[in-house]
Structure 1
Amino acid sequence: MRLRHPAGEPLHLSYCTNVHAAEDLDGIIAQLDTYAVPIRARLGTDVLGLGLWLAAPVAAALAADPALRARLRRELSARCLEVVTLNGFPYRSFQDPVVKHAVYHPDWTTKDRLSYTLDLAHVLADLLPDDAARGSVSTLPLAWRDPWDTGMADLVARRLSRLADGLAAIESSTGRVVRVGFEPEPGCVVESTGQAVERLAGVDGDRLGVCLDLAHLACAWERPADALEALERAGLPIVKVQLSAALETADPDPLRAYAEPRFLHQTRNAAGDAADDLDEAFARRLPGPWRVHYHVPLHVSPAAPLTTTIPVMREALAQLVGGPRPLCDHFDVETYTWGVLPPALRPQTPEQLAAGIADELDFARTELRELGVST
């Protein structure tokens, strides 16, 4: 959706399609009709933004074939859909029965991760609306934390230099600016904005920066104002914001209903105690309160005593768009866990999923409106 900051600058609000399983072009186009078109109609918006997820094989095919890119752009345009951001964190198979640590592979020590990300940037340069100022691609925070050593850090630094060079070449050949944001996530080499400042020091700040996931920020128990100030001091731009909420509770026992086999649900408490998944947190009897990396629908409050980190999201949004100028222009709702929610909360049909995503987007739009953003 197209929004406008009180200062007059355009903002883009979208939803991330990594909630859907399609990994080939025909499947991606089919999911536009199944989900995106009904979502746009339910919201009553002229244009719906998608934070498109393209698995590595389809990204490579699109990057290699201008005709395929033109086809995808036509299909989007025909449905009044647009893309200014891509999610390049999951490489492929993100909706498999078990994902867990596989989502972090290949990481930024590999040529495959560099090639995939540049493929996405090539594709996005052709998908961007003509009047969009720039595009963004989010990616993983370098690697899972273990193993990690100085040799790997040096190798990653060289990869990021090649990434910046590749993005510059795309801009030179297409005239379109595409930036890449590294997404701090619990358990990774870059877990917090503080680690982003440390481990992304020296990158090309014109092309590389941070993708700020607000559920991850909350799980790191970071204060939004402090995190944003640290990024600004370091000269790391916020390339993209993922609007997301994590679970929070002082009484962990009801979280047992959320333990599931597909995704990692890193768990943290305010004292800094950490577990890499819910089962581990229960086994270690971490003292509460807990915040759990489990993206839950923005507009739904879970049954007490569970709650969510929506207050952190609101605090962050006030910092991001409540000032005289926006600190970011790409906002993507990223709730990819609809299919693993407890059964009573889980959509049972495509129509129910589309309705839930539309309600989330409406919630996000309302939050932004309350900060003076217009539609």
Structure 2
Amino acid sequence: MRFRHSDGTTVHLGYCSNVHQAEDLDGVLAQLADHAEPVRERLGVDRLGIGLWLARGVVARLTREPGELGRLKSELAARGLETVTLNAFPYAGFHRDVVKKDVYLPDWADEARLSHTLDCARVLAALLPDDAERGSVSTLPLAWRTPWPPDRSDTARRALDRLAAGLATIESDTGRRVRVGFEPEPGCVVETTAQAVRELRGLDPERLGVCLDACHLAVQFEEPGAALRRLAEAGLPVVKLQASCAIEAADPSDPAARAALHRLAEPRFLHQTRTAAIAGTGGEPRTSEERTAAEESGREDQRGEPEVRGVDDLPHALDGGLPTDTGPWRVHFHAPLHADPEPPLRTTAEQLGHVLTELLGAPAAACDHIEVETYTWSVLPEQPTDLPGGIAAELAWARDRLTGLGLKDDR
């Protein structure tokens, strides 16, 4: 779906296909028929955006077989679908029985990550609608935080310079601009917007920036306005917004809340969990390194900022890894945008609304690609009986928020 901002910017809204399981091209094409087109029909629109997740094997095939790339583009058009963004964060095997930290491999110190990302950009350049201003590709925030010695950090930084150069070559060859956004995520080298500034400042802002995931932002207890100002002041554009919600337990000591959280503690995906003693102050949460140093030294946090404490997965939190008396817990579990979870849990949909307002409620649009990314439908305690209907309801929720901000439906 497309919307027109008051400044004339075309804002693209779609959903990410990493919710569907497919590791080959035939599987991807089947997704379009079995899920994406029915979602479009449920919404009653002529054109629906779909942010494709293409596993490494699919991308490799598309780059070496132009005819297959043409087949994918034709199939998208025939089903009323368009693609302006790719999700290149997962490399492969995203729907294995156990994914967990494997999703961060290969990282940006590995040549394979650079090659894959540039191949995704080439594929996207060929898939872009003729009238799309640019494309976007989202990727991981460099790496999981450990091990990350200085030599690997230096290697990754050089890879980012080569990435910018490669994107410039693609634009020269195709006439299409593709930007790459690094997606801060709890537990990674870049888990907050402050760390994004530290690690990514000085990169080519015409081609590299941030993919802002609203769930991750909420889990780290970042205030949207302060986070976005921080990025803007550092010259880091929001290349793409992943519209997503985290799970929140207002009182993690409540037996009913703990029982509901236990039902979310599934084995496939990592569900980083955080708590904050001071929430909503607009300050910058401490980094993992700062938190560790403070805990080891016994120092109190004197800066008046949210003191964010966390563990790497929900079972650890439930087993005593997080206190239950310092504030709410937020869990990296992408919850459907439109639906309430099992009581007394709730989602961070309200904060997602604030993110949308900060990005698109001003006189100038600060982002033009929005992707609903609820990849967790298959691990919900209650399995959906109508997945296309659920995805359509999420997109309708997002559509209503955009039009409520004054954007016009641009059919």
Instruction: Give the aligned partner of residue 272 of structure 2.
Output: 266
Instruction: Give the aligned partner of residue 364 of structure 1.
Output: 398
Task: Please state if 1:347 is matched with 2:384.
Answer: yes
SS in 2 for 1:53: coil
Distance (whole Å) between structure 2 residues aligned to residue 353 and residue 125 of structure 1: 29
Give, as a single letter, the amino acid of the residue that structure 1 aligns with 2:368: D
Instruction: Give the aligned partner of residue 101 of structure 2.
Output: 101
Partner of residue 329 from structure 1, selected from 368, 381, 387: 368
Distance (whole Å) between structure 2 residues aligned to residue 65 and residue 327 of structure 1: 36
Give, as a single letter, the amino acid of the residue that structure 1 aligns with 2:157: A
- Over the residues paired in the alignment, what is the CA RMSD in angstroms? 0.9
Instruction: Give the aligned partner of residue 288 of structure 2.
Output: none
Q: How does 1:211-360 map to 2 (within 5 A)?
A: 211-252=211-252, 253=258, 254-270=260-276, 271-283=307-319, 284-287=321-324, 288-343=327-382, 346-348=383-385, 352-360=386-394
TM-score after normalising by structure 1: 0.97
SS in 1 for 2:83: strand
Q: How does 1:115-134 map to 2 (within 5 A)?
A: 115-134=115-134
Instruction: Give the aligned partner of residue 52 of structure 2.
Output: 52
SS in 2 for 1:304: coil
Structure 1 residues 22-81: Cα deviation after superposition (integer angstroms, max 9, x where no partner): 111111111111001110000011101001000001101111222221111111001110
SS in 2 for 1:12: strand
Instruction: Give the aligned partner of residue 40 of structure 2.
Output: 40
How many angstroms does 1:157 deviate by?
A: 0.7
Give the fraction of aligned pairs with identical amino acids, expressed as a percent. 58
How many angstroms does 1:230 deviate by?
A: 0.5
How many angstroms does 1:285 deviate by?
A: 4.0
SS in 1 for 2:91: coil
Distance (whole Å) between structure 1 residues aligned to residue 33 and residue 308 of structure 2: 44
What are the ranges of 5 or more consecutive residues in structure 2 without an aligned counterpart?
253-257, 277-306
Distance (whole Å) between structure 2 residues aligned to residue 318 and residue 31 of structure 1: 32
Aligned length: 370
Distance (whole Å) between structure 1 residues aligned to residue 56 and residue 322 of structure 2: 39
Structure 1 residues 306-351: Cα deviation after superposition (integer angstroms, max 9, x where no partner): 11111110111111000001100000000000000012xx214xxx
What are the ranges of 5 or more consecutive residues in structure 1 without an aligned counterpart?
none
Task: List structure 1 runs of 4+ shifted beyond 4 angstroms.
Answer: none
Distance (whole Å) between structure 1 residues aligned to residue 70 and residue 248 of structure 2: 44
Give, as a single letter, the amino acid of the residue that structure 1 aligns with 2:91: Y
Distance (whole Å) between structure 1 residues aligned to residue 328 and residue 63 of structure 2: 46
Distance (whole Å) between structure 1 residues aligned to residue 151 and residue 7 of structure 2: 45
Instruction: Give the aligned partner of residue 9 of structure 2.
Output: 9
Structure 1 residues 76-108: Cα deviation after superposition (integer angstroms, max 9, x where no partner): 001110000000000011011110000000010
How many angstroms does 1:249 deviate by?
A: 1.1
How many angstroms does 1:259 deviate by?
A: 0.5
8 Å Cα contact 2:311/2:322 also seen in 1: no
Give, as a single letter, the amino acid of the residue that structure 2 aligns with 1:374: K
Give, as a single letter, the amino acid of the residue that structure 1 aligns with 2:330: R
Give, as a single letter, the amino acid of the residue that structure 2 aligns with 1:147: P
Distance (whole Å) between structure 1 residues aligned to residue 156 and residue 64 of structure 2: 25
How many angstroms does 1:250 deviate by?
A: 2.1
Distance (whole Å) between structure 2 residues aligned to residue 164 and residue 303 of structure 1: 44
TM-score after normalising by structure 2: 0.89
Distance (whole Å) between structure 2 residues aligned to residue 57 and residue 129 of structure 1: 24
How many angstroms does 1:374 deviate by?
A: 1.2
SS in 2 for 1:295: strand
Q: How does 1:67-78 map to 2 (within 5 A)?
A: 67-78=67-78
8 Å Cα contact 2:186/2:219 also seen in 1: yes
SS in 2 for 1:273: strand
